[in-house]
């Protein structure tokens, strides 16, 4: 059998479809040419409320859907005509014609309806047929109401006279996409019939999957009326692809054949997921005599059924249905009721209510000859009977305005001509099927009926999206993984960096055997052994073997299809995650700075090292300022702060620096002085503690010193910087930190690192090397003259790269986590990566000296306390001086000013009693006044001193 490529098959089928539509249009014209002439401008009008209105109905009576809907339409017609209030005496006359799934016959039947003054058409059942006759409905303005043509494109503005009375496939495909996303799958295979119904439905599925970051990975189109051989060939191709999530969107007869062939090919076993549109639930509901073999073929399949809420009206109709079909079937198996039967019943009622509204608002049934067909007069057919329905547009408006409750629930249209609140039931075919949940465009997936959620605010949280447990094909309850490696014998092409340095991580084995070894390879092998399936792969070296290759370029080649994956020392950084999916990191890393260091030897003035010169200066100045402030606050009250100037200067100096050791002998008697002293002693306590800790570290731990303190030091000078060739460090330094590319020096081997660092920036070397911590720790393990300086300034890790949305990335991440939990990851690390031989508990990089900014807050608080205390003190002094000498006036201004200054200075320098001493003296004087006059008590005068 010759198999055409998908693209050629689609092009061929598209050409055939266009030819079919062209032939159909020409045959329509031929029929029109054979139709008799008519008199231009003649109107055929009837009364506003005629006794009978003609309604056409196009069915495909050989299908199971039409067998159900014919009975439902008959019941509905009888109900409408027996209701005196529905049409106010007017009867509906439904003329049923069989299209037999033929677009050509549908055109003929539609033309026949036009001859009988038909004002509306119920149907057609097929989307293909609807596309064919919608052009006639548009030309002659006759509304069509389809309950089964579910192609989403029929809702377009191209078909204004087509009204769909059941949910279209757009919502059905949204439900399937939600199911795929709910179970965590990312790729599906679409099996569909290659006509308007199948193509447009699968196109809607692709759009819905894309919104959820899923996709259709393979399409398997089937021509209408495919044979068993055609289906078998398509399924064989499907079985060769990776995805095992199969979505089937076909017609009922083709669908059952697909599952029969799938059963034969072993594609109904565990590991496969089959999801069908509602054609399968229609068969299960309608065909009560389905053979056990056919039923066995679909066990474990997920399908959808249009949801119709339970109501008394629905229960009454189901009861009448069962009674009627039993009487008609006699001894045969009766036809089961599907949702399409319910929608067909409501469609007749919907049309009846719209016609009644049409008549009540003045509409009448009248027809006008089509002026576009004036040139086609002549022929045997009576074309003058086919005219434009003048009330067609008005009737369409009334149809879209109907808001009624039927057996299917609420019938109301939105602005897009779609029914409001479309909903589906999710069916797991076990036996004849069991419901595991619902889907609606309002609440998504749920286990609650949608009508119970419409009154609640919409909640699209994944926590609320639930379905009951599923029994999958193969009678397993474990959710299938959803994918396998393609059964086409192709191995995964995995790119591996062919490194020339740091081969402990990954590199070719010595001897030219072409095998890779290293830490990264052992992690990959251990993770692959934990997978529950075989992983066929081929390792391909990437790089010329002379310089380290670019890891970013290796990742890019995955998106180009050169490699299927990449393993090795691949850092997970932002621009790479936009191209591929990474696994869970298996080692933490990040950019660090390494620079030459030297040991600091002790010297006689090592005790000065804890503080910077600026810190020493500010500290000494603070001591003097605090001493002076305390002297000012205590001078008038405290005898210890009085005396000759020389003594007072010595007191200030002694008091200031004795607070460093909390050894000051002078007592403070003023409140302000005590406050300032308490705050200052707290500052001294912090300074003492910090100085002691830093000095202890300097004298007891061997220190290493480097002029480079971290990445900040490199940003503040123009010295050359080394980086590992092929690393992302270069782009990061240039693009993120703004370092000139001319300063960067590429280095390959660890020996190049050491040579460049030893040479230094002034002798053709570099000031420092910026590289990932994992490499640097290995580099430093045997080179004690260098060290990491500063902090790690990026955070990332290493992972394995796979194409975006690859399920293998998820499985490998799970395996890496297992390696971490059971300790294997650490054992692999210890095997390949040596611990540092230079590490010593008594050696560390020089600690930064204590700077002024670390204590600026303390100095600010102390200074602010001194300033406030002085301000309060001088306010009190000025206030006391003003009050005491307010009455003293000297006529001469100059002498008065000089005298007042001298008087003020004398007042400031004058010794006064503290408030506590004055209060004691007053009490003593009061007691003396109360004693006998003969008693003499000596009271010392403090002014004598």
Q: What does the pLDDT read at residue 932?
A: 43
Backbone angles phi, psi at 158, to 5 degrees: -70, -20
pLDDT, average across residues 184-201: 94
Q: Model confidence at 373, in pLDDT bands (50, 70, 90)?
A: low
Q: Provide the CA 400 distance to its chain's centre, in angstroms.
A: 38
Q: Which of 225, 201, 179 is nearest to 127 (CA)?
A: 201
Read off the tokens for 1.
Answer: 């059998």
Q: What is the percentage of the chain residues whose pLDDT exceeds 70?
A: 79
Name the least confident of 465-479, 485-499, 896-910: 896-910
Instruction: Please write down the HEC assignment for all residues of 374-431.
Output: HHHCCCCECHHHCCEECCHHHHHHHHHHCCEEECCEEECECCCCCECCCEEEEEECCC
CA–CA separation, 748 and 509 (whole Å):
19
CA–CA separation, 589 and 794 (whole Å):
8
DSSP state for residue 890 in the 8-state scheme = -
pLDDT, average across residues 672-691: 83
Q: Model confidence at 700, in pLDDT bands (50, 70, 90)?
A: low
Read off the tokens for 561.
Answer: 């299809």
DSSP state for residue 606 in the 8-state scheme = G
Whether 60 contacts 126, CB under 8 Å: yes
The dihedral sign for the CA sequence 882, 887, 893, 897:
negative
Backbone angles phi, psi at 672, to 5 degrees: -65, -40
Q: What does the pLDDT read at residue 395?
A: 95
Indicate the pairing of strand 591-596 with strand 786-789.
antiparallel
pLDDT, tens digit (0-9, with 9 covering 90-100), for 755-774:
999 999 888 999 999 999 99
Query: 667 to each of 290, 657, 805, 826, how far by Cα in Å?
Result: 109, 15, 78, 65
Name the least confident of 179-183, 820-824, 887-891: 887-891
Is pLDDT at 713 greater than 80 in this prediction?
yes
Q: Model confidence at 124, in pLDDT bands (50, 70, 90)?
A: confident
Is pLDDT at 34 greater than 70 in this prediction?
no
The whole-chain average pLDDT of the chain stands at: 82
Read off the tokens for 297.
Answer: 């073929």
Q: Model confidence at 607, in pLDDT bands (50, 70, 90)?
A: low
How big is the chain by its Cα radius of gyration, in Å?
A: 47
CA–CA separation, 498 and 487 (whole Å):
30
Most confident by average pLDDT, 295-309, 323-337, 666-680, 860-874: 295-309
Q: What does the pLDDT read at residue 838?
A: 63
Task: Provide DSSP, 89-100.
Answer: T-EEEEEEEE-T
Q: Model confidence at 455, in pLDDT bands (50, 70, 90)?
A: confident
pLDDT, tens digit (0-9, with 9 covering 90-100), for 559-600:
999 999 999 999 999 999 999 999 999 999 889 999 888 765
Is pLDDT at 322 greater than 90 in this prediction?
no
816 compared with 605, residue with greater pLDDT? 816
Q: Model confidence at 917, in pLDDT bands (50, 70, 90)?
A: low
């Amino acid at each position: 059998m010759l198999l055409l490529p998908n693209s050629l098959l689609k092009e061929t089928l598209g050409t055939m479809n266009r030819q079919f539509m062209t032939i159909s249009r020409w045959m329509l014209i031929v029929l029109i040419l054979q139709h008799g002439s008519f008199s231009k401008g003649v109107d055929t009008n009837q009364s506003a409320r005629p006794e009978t209105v003609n309604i056409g109905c196009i069915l495909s009576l050989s299908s199971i859907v039409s067998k159900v809907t014919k009975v439902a339409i008959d019941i509905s017609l009888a109900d409408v005509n027996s209701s005196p209030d529905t049409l106010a005496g007017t009867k509906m006359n439904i003329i049923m014609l069989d299209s037999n799934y033929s677009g050509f016959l549908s055109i003929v039947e539609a033309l026949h309806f036009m001859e009988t003054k038909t004002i509306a058409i119920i149907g057609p059942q097929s989307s293909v047929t609807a596309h064919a006759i919608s052009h006639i409905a548009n030309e002659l303005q006759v509304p069509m109401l389809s309950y089964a043509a579910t192609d989403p494109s029929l809702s377009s503005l191209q078909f204004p006279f087509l009204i769909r009375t059941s949910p279209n496939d757009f919502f059905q495909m949204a439900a399937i996409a939600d199911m795929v996303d709910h179970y965590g799958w990312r790729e599906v295979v679409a099996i569909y019939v290659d006509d308007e119904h199948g193509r447009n439905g699968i196109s809607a599925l692709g759009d819905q999957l894309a919104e959820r970051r899923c996709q259709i990975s393979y399409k398997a189109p089937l021509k209408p009326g495919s044979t068993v051989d055609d289906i078998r060939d398509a399924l064989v191709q499907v079985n060769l692809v990776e995805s095992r999530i199969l979505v089937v969107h076909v017609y009922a007869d083709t669908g059952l054949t697909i599952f029969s062939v799938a059963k034969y090919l072993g594609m109904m076993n565990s590991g496969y997921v089959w999801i069908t549109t509602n054609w399968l639930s229609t068969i299960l509901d309608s065909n009560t005599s389905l053979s056990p073999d056919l039923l066995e073929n679909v066990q474990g399949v997920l399908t959808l059924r249009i949801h119709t809420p339970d109501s008394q009206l629905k229960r009454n109709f189901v009861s009448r249905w069962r009674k009627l079909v039993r009487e008609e079937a006699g001894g045969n198996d009766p036809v089961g009721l599907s949702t399409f039967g319910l929608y067909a019943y409501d469609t007749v009622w919907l049309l009846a209510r719209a016609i009644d509204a049409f008549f009540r608002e003045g509409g009448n049934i009248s027809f006008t000859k089509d002026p576009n067909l004036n040139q086609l007069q002549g022929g045997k057919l009576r074309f003058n009977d086919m005219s434009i329905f003048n009330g067609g547009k008005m009737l369409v408006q009334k149809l879209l305005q109907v808001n009624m409750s039927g057996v299917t629930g609420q019938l109301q249209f939105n602005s897009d001509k779609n029914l409001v609140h479309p909903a589906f039931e999710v069916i797991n075919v076990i036996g004849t099927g069991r419901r595991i949940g619902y889907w609606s465009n309002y609440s998504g997936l749920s286990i609650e009926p949608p009508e119970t959620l419409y009154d609640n605010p919409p909640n699209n949280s994944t926590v609320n999206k639930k379905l009951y447990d599923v029994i999958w094909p193969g009678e397993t309850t474990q959710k299938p993984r959803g994918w396998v490696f393609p059964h086409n014998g192709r191995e995964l092409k995995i790119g591996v960096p062919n490194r020339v340095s740091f081969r402990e991580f990954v590199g070719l084995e010595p001897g030219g055997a072409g095998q890779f070894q290293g830490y990264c390879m052992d992690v990959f092998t251990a993770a692959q052994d934990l997978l529950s399936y075989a992983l066929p792969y081929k390792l391909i070296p990437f790089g010329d073997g002379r310089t380290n290759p670019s890891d970013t370029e290796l990742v890019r080649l995955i998106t180009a299809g050169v490699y299927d994956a990449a393993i090795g020392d691949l850092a997970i950084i932002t621009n790479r995650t936009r191209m591929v999916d990474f696994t869970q990191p298996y080692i933490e890393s990040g950019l660090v700075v390494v620079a030459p260091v030297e040991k600091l030897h002790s010297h006689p003035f090592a005790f000065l090292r804890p503080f910077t010169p600026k810190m020493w200066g500010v500290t000494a100045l603070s001591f003097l300022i605090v001493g002076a402030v305390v002297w000012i606050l205590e001078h008038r009250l405290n005898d210890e702060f009085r005396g000759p100037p020389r003594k007072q200067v010595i007191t200030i100096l002694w008091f200031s620096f004795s607070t460093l050791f909390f050894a000051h002998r002078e007592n403070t008697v003023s409140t302000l002085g005590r406050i300032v002293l308490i705050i200052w002693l707290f500052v001294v306590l912090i300074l003492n503690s910090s100085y002691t800790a830093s000095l202890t570290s300097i004298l007891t731990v061997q220190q290493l010193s480097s002029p480079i303190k971290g990445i900040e030091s490199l940003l503040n000078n123009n010295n050359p910087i080394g980086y590992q060739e092929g690393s992302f460090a270069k782009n990061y330094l240039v693009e993120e930190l703004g370092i000139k590319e001319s300063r960067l020096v590429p280095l390959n081997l660890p020996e190049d690192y050491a040579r460049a660092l030893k040479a230094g920036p002034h002798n053709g070397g570099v000031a420092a090397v910026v590289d990932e911590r994992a490499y640097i720790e290995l580099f430093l393990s045997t080179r004690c003259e260098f060290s990491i300086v500063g902090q790690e300034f990026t955070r990332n890790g290493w992972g394995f790269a796979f194409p975006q949305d690859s399920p293998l990335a998820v499985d490998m991440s799970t395996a890496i986590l297992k390696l971490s939990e059971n300790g294997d990851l650490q054992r692999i690390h210890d095997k390949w990566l040596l611990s540092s031989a230079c590490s010593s508990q008594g050696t560390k990089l020089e600690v930064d000296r204590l700077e002024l900014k670390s204590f600026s807050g303390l100095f600010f608080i102390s200074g602010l306390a001194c300033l406030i205390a002085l301000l309060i003190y001088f306010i009190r002094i000025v206030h006391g001086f003003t009050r005491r000498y307010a009455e003293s006036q000297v006529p001469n201004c100059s002498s008065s000013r000089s005298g007042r200054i001298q008087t003020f200075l004398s007042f400031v320098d004058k010794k006064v009693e503290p408030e506590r001493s004055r209060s004691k003296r007053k009490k003593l004087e009061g007691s003396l006044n109360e004693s006998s006059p003969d008693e003499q008590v000596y009271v010392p005068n403090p002014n004598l001193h």
